[in-house]
Chain A
């Protein structure tokens, strides 16, 4: 389909445009993909962290609540122990009244209260006079030094009977086989006298905490006291302990541990010197499938949208533009200006097509106008010419002079004037473009008889006109220039008498007209020049033969083909010019019809 270089270029330009469009789309999709990937990554990270925080929060708060409420329960229990009758009796007894019976009775009394639960490891009861007993004697060690310190006692007494929580009874009581204990201490007041009668330390084993942690099935939890000492859970995690966690609010700290993003959450259990911590690896967090799913869906929708836009552009812009240019190109190649009808959507491009068609119309109109104008000008010029010639004036003058001549006895002058008048009448012939052959012959006869007057008897003329050719229409004045050429470039150059013979006949629907003179003849080079269809060839140094060339061109133009003439010659002997025309009288189209304006010219 690439016929010309220009064509190829145009197609390449088209391709590069759609190629660029495609590249832009690919680029957009790429950008979108990257953007979605980044978004998904960020969202997932945030989601995961929030998940982690949420999870550890719920774990820790739950654990904290659970421990708190359990210990509250133990606190209530300690209140029940405090008012147990046998213990009250023990406490009310005077110093000297205290004996083993009393002590055992009180111990049993306490145990009866504690029966309900197993986690209370032991209860220590100290009387004001320093006598004391424990429910689990032997397994404990008392730090008397600590107990005698003023602040130890004051801390308990200042609470005026309310419970305080501490670890290992504020360093006063240790379990001999290790393991920390949680101590609920309170001062005991007599119900009746409201006087302080002693101090109670209820010790709860840390196994209780261990059990709480185990029920969570979570390895990443550790329970410690406010000093950072281990109480329960995963002991390895106590390294993460920080003073920040000793508040009752949940605190999250993010850290990088071994290239892993970890979140350390921690909180203090209210009223108690116990801190719980959890360490969570963010990685381990769940992938938020739902979010990713939604994002992926959105992205798919977006990509689909881009493809749709691409297809839309192709269908509504690129393809119609291709179609349009294809049709316009066709017009250009054909060299015609036809309206185009492209099957494209009814949008702005249709407007383009419409305006192209309008332009075509306009250009064609201009052409028509131009041609019409040209015709008008031609007609006007013809009229002006005729006006200038004033045939009437010419004929009248000729007649007047003819009469004068005849009156003076100059018959020769009269007949010459008659011939001249006849010549001009036929020559002008109402401005017709075509005349019958016999009319042209009349012109030639008059022309030759006038020329004979000038050149004496060196010219003879003969005619052999077939009767059936007489009415054949031929373009006006195609023979006269040939005859003129015969005289001036043939016979006169020879310096001898010469003969001009006109022959015409019909053969196979073709009209042959031959003008033969016995002049000096033409060289092949001259013939080639006269027959040349190139004006540049012809007009140069052709000299007098230009009229002959012009006449041949004119006949070619009328017949709309180049092969209309034959020239035969023998140097010094003769020249014979033969026109071969279509015998149909209607073949000679007007000059205007020859121009292909609307492509309808046959």
Chain B
């Protein structure tokens, strides 16, 4: 099964797409969604998609910016850009990006299916050529436990970089992402993404004590999408950021 990720700020658009396409017949499954480029960067390493549908117009980090980052980090990822008519020319300016296809919104099922069939063919060919998938690693190396400490340090120093994720850290240290992820979990007992988020949330809680607004705190800690930040915070702290600020303020 090929893994598909939907990146679109429009929740209903994601839902519609997930529901309207007969993924199984294409030997595909939707493994995840993201409502912004920021969220996508944070979760993509967990989802390990082969195919990504990217909406051009998204707040905080638009589809083009995300595509630029993604094509560098995941050269085998197949990216399909989705754009409304009024942004189509802007999208066309980015044709230098190795994008599989540009599609005009609102999209029709038959068109999506047609494109996906071509994608499937490409991936089938690749698989028969024994090429690696987007998240299969070729890099490997032995990692000292001290390296994990180094990595933790690196995360603590760089978590404000909104583009930081498992793959970028792995590339920085010269490991494969999956190896690093495995090793990291072994050494620390925590997922890499969990650890990164923890770092950021701890920082955010400190900021919350100062009464800082959520949208400011979110960009301070490297998640400039306050919607995604809000979800992360609630998951981490159990209450919403604003409630957390309010309760702290009261006490």
Which residues of A come within 8 Å of B, CB atoms? 453-454, 456, 488, 492-496, 520, 572
Contact = CB atoms under 8 A, between A and B. Distances in A.
Interface stretch (B18-26, B68-76, B197-205, B223-231): B223-231
A492 to B, nearest CB: 6
B242 interface: yes
B216 A495 contact: no
B215 interface: yes
A454 B11 contact: yes
Interface centre among A453, A493, A572 (most CB of B within 10 A): A493
A454 B16 CA distance: 12
B96 interface: no
A493 B219 CA distance: 11
A496 B230 CA distance: 8
Interface of B: 10-12, 59-60, 213-216, 218, 225-227, 229-230, 242
A495 B12 contact: no
Contacts of A454: 10-12
Task: Please indicate which of the listed interface residues B11, B215, B229, B230 has the most CB atoms of chain A within 10 Å of its own CB.
Answer: B215
B242 A496 contact: yes
A493 B225 CA distance: 7
User: Which secondary structure dominates where chain B touches chain A?
Assistant: helix
Nearest to B213: A572
A490 to B, nearest CB: 10
A495 B218 contact: yes
A454 B8 CA distance: 12
Given A572-B215, A572-B216, A496 B10 contact: no
Contacts, number: 34
B12 A520 contact: no
Given A454-B10, A454-B12, A493 B216 contact: no
15 contacts: A453-B12, A492-B59, A492-B227, A493-B215, A494-B215, A495-B215, A495-B225, A495-B226, A495-B230, A496-B214, A496-B226, A496-B230, A572-B213, A572-B215, A572-B216
Contacts of B225: 495
Contacts of A488: 59
Contacts of A456: 11
Contacts of A492: 59, 227
B2 to A, nearest CB: 29
A370 B242 CA distance: 59
Nearest to B9: A492
| List of 4 A-B pairs having minimum Cβ-Cβ separation, nearest first | A495-B226, A572-B213, A495-B227, A494-B215
Contacts of A493: 59-60, 215, 226
Nearest to B226: A495
A494 B226 contact: yes
A493 B59 CA distance: 8
B59 A494 contact: no
A495 B214 contact: yes
